[in-house]
Structure 1
Amino acid sequence: MALNVVLYEPEIPANTGNIGRTCMATGTRLHLIEPLGFRLGEKELRRAGMDYWDQLDVTRYADYEEFLEKNPGAKIYMATTKGPRAYTEVHFEPDCYLMFGKESAGIPEEILHDNKETSMRIPMLPGTRSLNLSNSVAIVVYEALRQNEFSNMELTGHLRNYDWD
């Protein structure tokens, strides 16, 4: 199983760093669609991603069209506050792409309009603008992993000085 997270024009380095760490912890590939609102070498990005950033499977694209060209036939689910269904109503394939928009504006409506059948939302109380981007990514990634039985993931933890017996 190899999920893919796609960030459309991310603006805040700390969010992208946190998302990178989530991707490392879950074996998820990260795709960044430019323009980015920061340089990838910024200390905030590395701090949030900790020492994992250099090990991350990350690909950058000049724009959305290049992303589509280089990933033909990809099943792309669009996470948006404008989505017609909850993310829990979606069946995620093991190698699907989970796309999230930039912090200030989300995914452009013309892209969403063309992808109604794969657009989804995280339920929130009325009047709530949105969740933090890195939190949204974690919520949806872990639902996709749960649906695929956490393939290749460690499911139990261990105490250092005791047994769980």
Structure 2
Amino acid sequence: MSIHVVLHEPEIPANTGNIARTCAGTNSCLHLIHPLGFSTDDRMLKRAGCDYWPHVKVEHHNSIEELMDKFPEGHFYFIETIGNQHYSQVDYSEAQEDYFFVFGKETKGLPESLTNKFRDNCLLIPQTQLVRSLNLSNAAAILVYEAMRQQAFSAIEQKAFCE
């Protein structure tokens, strides 16, 4: 099973490229929920992901519901500034499970309808009030590496793409 990064309607190609690079380095899956704010042929997207794109399993979905239907046993966590608990308070240690970290678009975050529906699964990355939010690619890396740390970095030992 795997760690999954889900980008809900991402807008900035460089962030998506950086997250793809993190996914390649951690054997995590990347899911893109459409519409995207850029073309997947975008030069900035490819530049930020460097030459790692062949090592990233990327799936495209038309909606978050489509993704959730595909993985009914998955553990979905919605990363938002309104989270009820810190990301580090969740147990991700079961490497046989699928953990999905869902991030919203850079300018608006996740839709309120989604965070209201899954309020108990909204997680918070603590930060000062000096910033509105952390950079999307930094936030994704924080979540991926916390889950991997709890799993003793076992996914890094795997040679194949995430499942």
| Normalised TM-score (structure 2) | 0.89
Residue 68 of structure 2: SS of its match in structure 1? helix
Say which one has the larger Rg.
1
Structure 1 residue 32 displacement after superposition: 0.5
Once the 2 structures are TM-superposed, how far is the Cα of residue 115 of structure 1 from its aligned partner? 1.2
Please provide the CA RMSD for this pair: 1.3
* Equivalent position SS for 2:50: helix
Moved more, 45-54 or 90-99: 90-99
- Superposition pairs of residues 135-154 of structure 1, within 5 angstroms: 135-153=138-156
1:117-136 to 2 correspondence within 5 Å?
117-136=120-139
Deviation at 1:87, TM superposition (A): 0.7
Give the partner amino acid of 2:116.
H
1-side partners of 2:130 and 2:147: how far apart? 27
- From the two aligned structures, give the one with the greater strand fraction: 2
Gaps spanning 5+ residues in structure 1: where? 155-165
- 2:87–2:123 CA contact under 8 A, matched in 1: yes
3-state SS of paired residue (1:18): helix
Q: Compute the displacement of 1:152 (Å).
A: 4.0
CA contact (8 A) 2:103 2:109 kept: yes
SS in 2 for 1:97: strand
Counterpart of 2:107 (choices 104, 128, 135) is 104
Q: Cα deviation per residue 1:141-163 (whole Å; 9 max; x = unaligned)?
A: 10010011111436xxxxxxxxx
Aligned to 1:63: 63
Mapped partners of 1:58, 1:111: distance in 2: 22
Whole-angstrom CA distance in 2 between matches of 1:57 and 1:81 = 28
For residues 61-103 of structure 1, what are the alpha-carbon distances to aligned partners after superposition, in whole Å with 9 as ceiling and x for unaligned? Answer: 1122222222223210111111111111111243211111110
What is the aligned partner in structure 2 of residue 159 from structure 1? none
Offset from partner CA, 1:103-154 (integer Å, 9 cap, x none): 0111111111111221111001124200000000001110010011111436
Quick one: distance in 2 between partners of 1:73 and 1:115?
Answer: 15
Q: Please state whether the residue corresponding to 1:32 is helix, strand or coil.
A: strand
State which drifts further: 52-61 or 89-98. 89-98
Give the Cα–Cα distance (whole angstroms) in 1 for the partners of residues 35 and 104 of structure 2: 12
In structure 2, give the amino acid aligned to 1:49: G
Equivalent residue for 1:5?
Answer: 5
SS for the counterpart of 1:91 is coil
Tell me, what secondary structure is at the counterpart of 1:30? strand
Q: Which contiguous aligned blocks of 4+ residues in structure 1 show a shift greater than 6 angstroms?
A: none
Rounded to whole Å, the distance in 2 between the matches of 1:73 and 1:127 is 38
Paired residue total? 154
Matches of 1:44 and 1:133, distance apart in 2: 16
3-state SS in 2 of match to 1:99: strand
